[in-house]
Structure 1
Amino acid sequence: MIAGITYQAKKPDASLAHCIESFWLLANTTDEEKTVSIMPDGRIDLFFSKTATSPFHVVLLGLESGTSNAIIAPQTLTFAVSFKLLAAEYVLKHSVASLLDGGMRLPDDFWGMSVADLDDFEACCNRVSEKIKILLNKEPDPRKLALFNLIYNNNGDLLVHEMASKVHWTSRQINRYFNQWFGLSLKAYCNILRFRASFAQIKAGKFFPEQNFADQAHFIRTVKKYAGVAPKALNKNKNDRFIQFSTLPKK
């Protein structure tokens, strides 16, 4: 992990697992900026942050379609909620299509959170969980729930028409839904999940595809498309540049 950067994560309870992937806390405890690269990972992220020079602020980030650079300011403390896609419709209740490769500032009192809350990670997780449970005031469409279960359980490693057939929803309808709510097609989203699923094997030094890639050349092209570097360079992760790779749990 990057020197001076601390990280901890927690899974939600089972009742929220269909819309939340994880809660996490990231801190830069130094007086120096940390430059990092953020790879697409198929999540929508909600950040509650404070820094030495910036007041408490809340930011919602949409999906990423490629690697981008970011700076973690000195003395930064960020609590984040990483959402699965169903959360856009059933928790946030708003399309995030316009936030593809971008984000938006939310009101500083969003969900009643304040700067004081950031000092207790467990309390943050509990408070936000209770808020989300209130917002989840209707059951998800069974077709959508079935679709996302297929997507996540298989790390995107199914063909679109196969998933459409299983959930009794046409490919055209599914892609219309994805473009309207998330800003990209189902196939594009599945490609991102397959890329993300390769992180652990790359970190272990395995450079042959374990997901359903046509061959090693296809695997390398996919990693370079989303990470900007080949698998071997990602494995080295020079200077802990790739923040998600640095925070992968150790085996």
Structure 2
Amino acid sequence: MSLKYKSIKPDISLADFVSDFWLFQNLSENTEEAIALPDGRIDMFLSKSASEPFTITVLGIGTRPHTAKIVAGTLIFAIGFKLPATEYIFNFPFADLLDNKKCLANDFWGFNSEDLNDFDAFCQKATQKVKSLLPKEIDSRKQKLFDLIYCSKGEITVKELSGMVFWSSRQINRYFNQQFGLSLKMYCNILRFRASLEHIAKGRLFPELDFADQNHFIKQVKKFSGVVPKELFKYKDDRFILLSTFCQP
């Protein structure tokens, strides 16, 4: 493959805010096409290529597949954030960044183009920077809410969550829409879709999560990927970036 993807987990101290650090690179001399699938993360990435300057960009939550032309020599180092990071690390809402992106200053958080020379060193620098921004405390209801959402991989209803965290469904959805630009139910559906990709990558094309039936499963997969499970599996080692990560040894 001409497209290289690598991901590593963060230090345990960052687990509430960081999902992973990742690297993406086009190793060929040609522009390649890649399809990014919704994964429930907020991504901040540093990128450059032979024909494009160094940039730092932050991406909001994605709700649909996005086809991108990756020019030759593109190199991206990134931090994948969990949702609490928007409020407690970035300190601003991401509602306007749903399916959208925002360019940041080229020296944001002290990063620069030289940080793209060494992925391990980038991960260490990013770890230290995020650690320096960690809040002394966070709202206990929100912490429990996100713990339940991520542990369940989205297989939990808004009503169940509301009862567990003693926060009304209306208030939770207002928070999600104002902070992230989508409802909690939609976000849980995205996480459940992401979890189903691991099964699809192994050729298991039937629902193994809390889908009503096979038809519902197919519709949800097509909604977030643009194709049915069989088509996803067919191209598991090629165009779909997130799906291909589940095929790596």
For normalisation by structure 2, the TM-score amounts to 0.97
The residue aligned with 1:31 is: 29
Gap regions ≥5 residues in structure 2: none
The residue aligned with 1:193 is: 191
Aligned residues: 249
Structure 1 residue matching 2:203: 3-state secondary structure: coil
TM-superposition CA deviations, 1:22-57 (whole Å, max 9, x none): 001111122211111111110100010111011110
Matches within 5 A, 1:93-104: 93-104=91-102
Q: Distance between the aligned counterparts of 1:249 and 1:174, measured in 2? A: 36
Cα distance, 1:240 vs structure 2:
1.1
Q: Distance between the aligned counterparts of 1:128 and 1:31, measured in 2? A: 29
Matches within 5 A, 1:76-91: 76-91=74-89
Q: Distance between the aligned counterparts of 1:137 and 1:245, measured in 2? A: 33
Q: Distance between the aligned counterparts of 2:32 and 2:248, measured in 1? A: 22
The residue aligned with 2:164 is: 166
Cα distance, 1:137 vs structure 2:
2.9
Cα distance, 1:248 vs structure 2:
2.0
TM-superposition CA deviations, 1:73-124 (whole Å, max 9, x none): 1111110000000000011111111000110110011111111111111110
For the pair 1:236 / 2:225, whether they are aligned, the reply is no
Q: What's the Cα RMSD here?
A: 1.2
The residue aligned with 2:111 is: 113
Give the aligned residue type for 1:211: L
Matches within 5 A, 1:126-141: 126-141=124-139
Structure 2 residue matching 1:140: 3-state secondary structure: coil
Equivalent of 2:180 in 171, 179, 182: 182
Cα distance, 1:71 vs structure 2:
1.5
The residue aligned with 1:156 is: 154
Structure 2 residue matching 1:137: 3-state secondary structure: coil
Cα distance, 1:249 vs structure 2:
4.5
For the pair 1:18 / 2:16, whether they are aligned, the reply is yes
Structure 1 residue matching 2:212: 3-state secondary structure: coil
Equivalent of 2:243 in 217, 220, 245: 245
The residue aligned with 2:143 is: 145
Equivalent of 1:60 in 58, 61, 65: 58
Q: Distance between the aligned counterparts of 1:51 and 1:29, measured in 2? A: 11
Q: Distance between the aligned counterparts of 1:138 and 1:97, measured in 2? A: 25
Equivalent of 2:213 in 212, 215, 238: 215
Give the aligned residue type for 2:193: F
The residue aligned with 1:72 is: 70
Q: 1:196 to 1:228 in 2, by over 3 A?
A: same
Q: Distance between the aligned counterparts of 1:84 and 1:15, measured in 2? A: 13
